[in-house]
């Protein structure tokens, strides 16, 4: 993914509902086994890590 793609991803990450984050995480995990290109796979893994961190950050916040 290029820089602009990542910017769009991070904008989405900040505004997505928790349900959307979980859905996207499931979709990424479902396709990881078929991704063969190392760069595409690396991007998917990075997206997965970022989404997991966002979910954990939201769940761990007091008052939510």
Identify whether the C-beta of residue 51 lies closer than 8 Å to the C-beta of residue 24: yes
Q: 13-55 pLDDT, tens per residue?
A: 999 999 999 999 999 999 999 999 999 999 999 999 999 999 9
Identify whether the C-beta of residue 41 lies closer than 8 Å to the C-beta of residue 35: yes
| 37 DSSP 8-state letter | S
pTM listed for this prediction: 0.89
Identify whether the C-beta of residue 55 lies closer than 8 Å to the C-beta of residue 22: yes
Closest by alpha carbon to 5, among 63, 50, 37, 64?
50
């Amino acid at each position: 993914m290029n820089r602009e793609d990542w910017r769009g991803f991070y904008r989405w990450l900040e505004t997505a509902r928790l349900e959307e984050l979980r859905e996207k995480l499931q979709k990424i995990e479902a396709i990881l086994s078929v991704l063969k290109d190392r760069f595409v796979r690396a991007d998917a893994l990075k997206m997965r890590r970022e989404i997991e961190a966002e979910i954990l950050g939201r769940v761990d916040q007091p008052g939510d």
